[in-house]
Structure 1
């Protein structure tokens, strides 16, 4: 083999994205397949193994990284739980894939993968300390400290969307009540407005007063949620990704007003709030980076 390659995989509720990557992050081939329904661990494994055979027919890759919609254990071997996928509890996915493919495998939370992707090739590539917030169906997060992904002693750190926002708010799948996710996710936006975020973005773009007012309220809530994270971590930047970030320009000003009002200047000097750069490929890219790191550590 001339140059080694790895596979990055991002498992989502409706689609599974795979890419073959060189060491500098070039995606040499990519593929998206439908997530089987119901998305049981065995069904997902079968689909992934088949997709790997399609993307790497000549067996050129040496490792696999997988992003999961839920926390992995600290060693990156076991999918601990995936709230929105049936039957995912303590699934030894890395071991299963190694048996099926013969390739070293590491797994991680999908938002952590997105953070690693943005740190490697995206909005965080010149930053040592930042947090990523993914505003999607749920709200995920990743913490990059001193250039490294912070996962805590059991692998589950960085669930930034599950911090408490309003103790009397709607119930969250996590068991928390009134988490930030219940105010900032796509599901929360639907509940509050009856509309999709892209509809509200288009309306705001056209100058619709109601949509603009909604985004201002949304930005205010997001800004208040970010205050706690800024005080704890004092990052260089907050990177905002996920589907809702398409309306970044409409909610950012209100978020900044709240941060400036509520955070002492000593905790926010030089703070940047940036849109993510890798879009839907961030998780797949970060999973590939984790595969490279796993190979380097062996």
Structure 2
């Protein structure tokens, strides 16, 4: 058994996963903990969740713990850098691998590995999700920020033909800003206020407001067009065979699926475009996948 972990800015989730049937997570454990809490609160919460997951293995051998975590992060060594982006500032320079292994009293042979959360989402989708039948594909997550990964035979790429630097899109220029400011929750908040004069907390509130569905439809149409304009050159240059979309914004899939596909076809991008069915489990499954030595070696040496 393997434990797959997804760490975000407000939570930790862990799942026990059988490598022979990874699409069926055995148990999922979740705890809310903010990235700006104290060092002790964050670390105690993480270790607590992992400890519960291990205790519930019921005697089955633990092959390793794979952890999906947002950057900036030193994935190989398991350490947050001195200068990040305002996330987990209290954990800078903590060796998480050593800390976790010590606190959980793990055997020296038990691997604890880390990788980017968006990339793990893509790995999960390519392993047992919507991308499992394709060779070259792109996976993106849309939520508080934009995550992306370019995959070849299930392995995220950091360079190569049609691949942006480090395989990421969030920081690339788009219109008057960067992709992250147009394809995330903050854009919907800003655009809704510009049109209506009112404020919303997020996309869920936007689509639940039945009094203003016309505004929601207008905003999503604009969002779809922008996303197609931004993605089309990358999908074309990479010669992607499929695209899958996850993240909280994908919960509003029926509001933008049709318009996005139409807009992409206008740029001669006629490939399958899916909404993730694995959803938050994709990153958990993907993180468990990195315990496989062959997969991990390909990631590190890629």
Q: Under a length normalisation based on structure 2, what TM-score does the superposition of the two structures give?
A: 0.81
Is residue 2:148 matched to residue 1:141?
A: yes
Q: 1:52 to 1:27 in 2, by over 3 A?
A: same
* Alignment partner, residue 93 of structure 1: 96
Per-residue Cα deviation, 1:38-60 (whole angstroms, up to 9, x for no partner)? 34555433322222221212564
Q: CA deviation at 1:157?
A: 1.7
The RMSD of aligned alpha carbons is 2.7
Matches within 5 A, 1:257-276: 257-261=262-266, 263=267, 265=268, 268=269, 270-276=270-276
Distance in 1 (alpha carbons) for counterparts of 2:219 and 2:141? 19
* Alignment partner, residue 16 of structure 2: 20
Q: 1:296 to 1:235 in 2, by over 3 A?
A: closer
Match of 2:122 among 105, 115, 126: 115
Q: CA deviation at 1:184?
A: 1.3
3-state SS of paired residue (1:65): strand
8 A Cα contact 2:145 2:180, kept in partner: yes
Q: CA deviation at 1:236?
A: 0.6
Distance in 2 (alpha carbons) for counterparts of 1:295 and 1:92? 23
3-state SS of paired residue (1:161): coil
Distance in 1 (alpha carbons) for counterparts of 2:230 and 2:80? 28
* Alignment partner, residue 195 of structure 2: none
3-state SS of paired residue (2:174): coil
Matches within 5 A, 1:213-252: 213-252=218-257
Distance in 2 (alpha carbons) for counterparts of 1:74 and 1:284? 16
3-state SS of paired residue (1:84): coil
Per-residue Cα deviation, 1:178-226 (whole angstroms, up to 9, x for no partner)? 111111101221122133212332357x883222111111111111111
Distance in 1 (alpha carbons) for counterparts of 2:295 and 2:259? 43
* Alignment partner, residue 63 of structure 1: 64
Give the gaps of 5 or more residues in structure 1. Answer: 170-177
Distance in 2 (alpha carbons) for counterparts of 1:79 and 1:51? 20
Distance in 2 (alpha carbons) for counterparts of 1:295 and 1:253? 35
8 A Cα contact 1:14 1:35, kept in partner: yes
Match of 1:161 among 163, 170, 177: 170
8 A Cα contact 1:72 1:107, kept in partner: no
Distance in 1 (alpha carbons) for counterparts of 2:90 and 2:239? 38
Q: Under a length normalisation based on structure 1, what TM-score does the superposition of the two structures give?
A: 0.82
* Alignment partner, residue 174 of structure 1: none
Q: 1:292 to 1:146 in 2, by over 3 A?
A: closer
8 A Cα contact 1:64 1:104, kept in partner: yes
* Alignment partner, residue 186 of structure 1: 185
Per-residue Cα deviation, 1:24-50 (whole angstroms, up to 9, x for no partner)? 213222210121563455543332222
Q: 1:296 to 1:208 in 2, by over 3 A?
A: closer
* Alignment partner, residue 291 of structure 2: 291
Distance in 2 (alpha carbons) for counterparts of 1:91 and 1:131? 32
Is residue 2:206 matched to residue 1:200?
A: yes
